[in-house]
Structure 1
Amino acid sequence: MVAAVAAFLVADGGSGADGPRPLTTDEASRLAITRFRNYQAQGRAVTITVPGTAGGLTVTGSVDYRRKVGYGVVHGTARNKSSDGLIRWTPTSVHVRPMTDAPAHAPASPPRSGWFDRPLLSTGSALDTSLSIALGLGGDRPDNAELLPQNGAAWWGRELVDGRRVDVMTGPSSPDRSGTAGNVRYWIGSDGTMYRVRVSVASQPEPVVIDFDTHKYVPVKPVPGTTPTR
């Protein structure tokens, strides 16, 4: 569900848009299918902006929403380059390959050596939380459009994203956390395509921002020596 992402969240601030107001039937339908659109597309090119008190991180790469796996390159922003390198992640694991001079985009075929594996952390890491959120933005079926307005989803305004006219909507309350409506903000096109998502995460001063179609999508290939995700 769209609301499942809210498990990571705290309250989100306003964007200065025109809302909020209740969703129309058309808006609710587009919000309900936006994660399914990502699944239908197989995968999307993403840029994930990760906040941090000591400087942020930017992950530029691809997410395969059928196989639930992401791959890209990490760059530090306003910090040293100790976190720079390639990264591949699933809902439970992270593979990293440090690089002192990381490229702007990850190579289509991952290098065969130099990888380190670790579990994906469910708490305590803004990067891992951001990676989990990115994977969660695809689903194999639409959400229930009738329930979204009832659970607090709202329309906030219209904006331009890379020249596209989009509607800004906030998601509903999490099923297990009442009062969390508005924690996730979506920038959605006229056909339900997701172009941006903004999520506030606990203990971080700024929200996670995930932008789609910032570059060409490259299918995610297995890291050599690892078991492919099914």
Structure 2
Amino acid sequence: MRGISPARSRRFVLAAVLVGMLSLTGCSTGLSDDGEPLTVEQADTLAQVRFRLAAQGDGVVRVSTGASDAVDHVSAELTVDFDDGIAWGDLKRGPDGIAVTEHVAFSARTYLVEGGAGWQESSPPSPMLTVLFALGADRPENAQLLRQSDARYLGSAEDEGEMLQVFRAPSADGERTDGARASTRLWVDDRRALRRMDAGDDVALVIRPSDVEPAARIPEVDRMLGASDE
């Protein structure tokens, strides 16, 4: 691996990002609303999922934000470099069936769109896109601290034909003191691989790691985003 981004060493940074953007609750059929404290085995599973994803190197994710029939709906298939904190691929804006496809690349600070004049800076269609950089971690979480946090096991549920274990991630500081709770959910298969992350429902934000081969890096984009392929 290349050098680790400092942002990825933060404990459950995706929970912090989502808490800042969203205040959502909700559960899928068959899942507990309150959840149960983690067992030793469940805490160990949850501690590994983000590290295992990043350890595989560049990966492809499918992202969806908003209702599929809404004008602000966004869907994308993106290759993510967790080390450099950049993503690139095809993004669709608008309702399914009539959405406009764009070739995009972005980091947490810069969003690029490929047009007739090459790659140009633009405004991202959703601030939640950068949450995907928090999917990976440079090391496993502390399982003991996870058991002491407000992380919960919500049960098992089917997603895209696969039965998965569903966890609610801990709040950014491990425990909310205002009576609210974190909404981030992590869906994990029996190999401890992350198969889905969402913001607490099926609409606001859903990210699914994919087995599709990563797209080739784009040297021009690397330079514009300050990334390195060394």
TM-score past 0.5 threshold: yes
Tell me how far 1:221 sits from its aligned partner: 3.1
- SS where residue 172 of structure 2 aligns? coil
Residue 157 of structure 2 corresponds to residue 153 of structure 1? no
- SS where residue 53 of structure 2 aligns? helix
Taking the TM superposition and a 5 Å limit, the aligned residue runs for 1:70-89 are 70-78=87-95, 84-89=101-106
Instruction: Specify the alignment match of 1:206 in structure 2.
Output: 203
1:111-154 deviation digits (Å, cap 9, x = unpaired): xx52211476xxxx6x222x211111111112221222322111
Which segments of 5 or more consecutive residues in structure 1 lack a partner in the other structure? 100-112
Residue 60 of structure 2 corresponds to residue 62 of structure 1? no
Root mean square deviation, CA, Å? 2.9
Instruction: Specify the alignment match of 2:24 in structure 1.
Output: 11
Q: How many residues align?
A: 208
Residue 201 of structure 2 corresponds to residue 189 of structure 1? no
Tell me how far 1:22 sits from its aligned partner: 1.7
Give, as a single letter, the amino acid of the residue that structure 1 aligns with 2:104. I
Give, as a single letter, the amino acid of the residue that structure 2 aligns with 1:157. G
Give, as a single letter, the amino acid of the residue that structure 1 aligns with 2:114. R
- SS where residue 22 of structure 1 aligns? coil
How far apart in 1 are the matches of 2:170 and 2:161? 27
Q: Is the 8 A contact 1:74 1:87 kept in 2?
A: yes
Tell me how far 1:197 sits from its aligned partner: 0.6
Q: Of residues 121, 125, 138 in structure 2, which corresponds to 1:117?
A: 121
Of residues 47-56 and 85-94 in structure 1, the stretch that sits farther from structure 2 once superposed is 47-56
TM-score normalized with structure 2 length: 0.77
How far apart in 1 are the matches of 2:167 and 2:225? 38
How far apart in 1 are the matches of 2:163 and 2:29? 17
Instruction: Specify the alignment match of 2:132 in structure 1.
Output: 134
How far apart in 2 are the matches of 1:82 and 1:164? 28
How far apart in 2 are the matches of 1:29 and 1:220? 34
Higher helix share: 2
How far apart in 1 are the matches of 2:147 and 2:44? 10
Which segments of 5 or more consecutive residues in structure 2 lack a partner in the other structure? 1-10
From the superposition, tell whether residues 221 and 181 of structure 1 become closer, same or farther in structure 2 (CA, over 3 Å). farther
Instruction: Specify the alignment match of 2:7 in structure 1.
Output: none
Task: Return structure 1 stretches of 4+ with deviation > 4 angstroms.
Answer: 79-83
From the superposition, tell whether residues 27 and 220 of structure 1 become closer, same or farther in structure 2 (CA, over 3 Å). farther
Instruction: Specify the alignment match of 1:24 in structure 2.
Output: 39
TM-score normalized with structure 1 length: 0.77
